[in-house]
Amino acid sequence: MPASTRSIRLEIESRILEGDLTVPSAASGLVLFAHGSGSSRHSTRNRLVAESLQRAGLATCLFDLLTAEEEAADALSGHIRFDIGLLAERLLGATAWLRNEPQCASLRIGYFGSSTGGGAAIVAAAAQPEWIGAIVSRGGRPDLAGPSLAKLRTPTLLIVGGRDYPVIELNEEAQRQIPGLTRLEIVPAATHLFEERGALESVAALSADWFNTYLQQAGKSDFSEPDSEPGRG
């Protein structure tokens, strides 16, 4: 379906962050991407998922959680990508900006988090539950959300590669701590970056279904799984 794409500049905590906002006509929701582990809005993997979500009628916003200077420093030390509090604050700042943007103001927002961005998405959603209708974490580190796991009520889909063994265990443990609706999907034979043939396409399809289901249900007092799906996988 026809979509408009434009570059955006967000001022968050005196930092200017760059992003790309794509809004299909008659969009059913807006998905804000939280990149992790040294990634950016130019991530090939997240752009593939974003394009699939757009074809499913969802608006997307890919933006850099870090400035160019912070990315350069993080490339040397790797410390900023694990600053979940900082990443969550940036994510909340971008969410507030989008809620005031006329093109997006009527759209319910979801988060798509990758790697450490998955932990940041949970912290941000737990802090402002009225803003966020759904979360998808791809190869994420929800365990890094700490105490926020016990506060999370937003419907959350955890997607992990079938060969990403340590991260499977971390996601299983995190799922046990989340009181809200959660589902764990294992993509067979996929590793952490989902580089195997068809793996990212599976992630995209699962994500589109989740967002289109729960962003449309957002605002109801109770979330429940469709009859064809179990509450916890």
- Taking the C-alpha atoms of residue 157 and residue 130, their distance in angstroms, rounded to an integer, is 18
Q: Supply the pLDDT for residue 81.
A: 67
Q: Supply the pLDDT for residue 225.
A: 45
Q: Supply the pLDDT for residue 223.
A: 42
Q: Supply the pLDDT for residue 226.
A: 42
Q: Supply the pLDDT for residue 224.
A: 41
Domain span at 123: 3-217
Residues 82-105 as b/e (b if ≥16 CB within 10 A, e otherwise) read: bbbebbbbbbbbbbebbeeeeebe
Q: Is residue 227 part of a domain?
A: no
- Taking the C-alpha atoms of residue 66 and residue 143, their distance in angstroms, rounded to an integer, is 21
Q: Supply the pLDDT for residue 212.
A: 96
- Taking the C-alpha atoms of residue 192 and residue 7, their distance in angstroms, rounded to an integer, is 29
The DSSP-derived string for the chain is --EEEEEEEEEETTEEEEEEEEEETT---EEEEE--TT--TT-HHHHHHHHHHHHTT-EEEEE-SS-HHHHHHHHHH--GGG-HHHHHHHHHHHHHHHHTSTTTTTSPEEEEEETHHHHHHHHHHHHSTTTEEEEEEES--GGGGGGGGGG--S-EEEEEETT-HHHHHHHHHHHHH--S-EEEEEETT--TT--STTHHHHHHHHHHHHHHHHHHHTTSS-----TTS-S--
Q: Supply the pLDDT for residue 196.
A: 96
List the CATH number of the domain containing 20.
3.40.50.1820
Q: Is residue 229 part of a domain?
A: no
Q: For residue 10, list its beta bridge partners.
A: 17
- Taking the C-alpha atoms of residue 174 and residue 111, their distance in angstroms, rounded to an integer, is 17
Q: Is residue 162 part of a domain?
A: yes
Q: Is residue 233 part of a domain?
A: no
Q: Is residue 88 part of a domain?
A: yes
Q: Is residue 84 part of a domain?
A: yes
pLDDT digits (tens, 9 = 90+) for 173-208: 999 999 999 999 999 999 998 999 999 999 999 999
Q: How many residues does the chain have?
A: 233
Q: Supply the pLDDT for residue 231.
A: 42
Per-residue pLDDT of the chain (233 residues; tens, 9 = 90+): 567 889 998 888 778 888 999 999 889 999 999 976 555 666 778 899 999 999 999 999 998 887 767 776 656 666 676 789 989 999 999 999 999 999 999 999 999 999 899 999 999 999 999 999 999 999 999 999 999 999 999 999 999 999 999 999 999 999 999 999 999 999 999 999 899 999 999 999 999 999 999 998 654 434 444 443 434 44
- Give residue 223's identity as a one-letter amino acid code: F
Number of structural domains found in the chain: 1
Q: Is residue 228 part of a domain?
A: no
How high is the mean pLDDT of the chain?
87
Task: Residue 107: name the closest of 54, 30, 34 by CA.
Answer: 30
pTM: 0.88
Q: Supply the pLDDT for residue 233.
A: 44
Q: Is residue 67 part of a domain?
A: yes
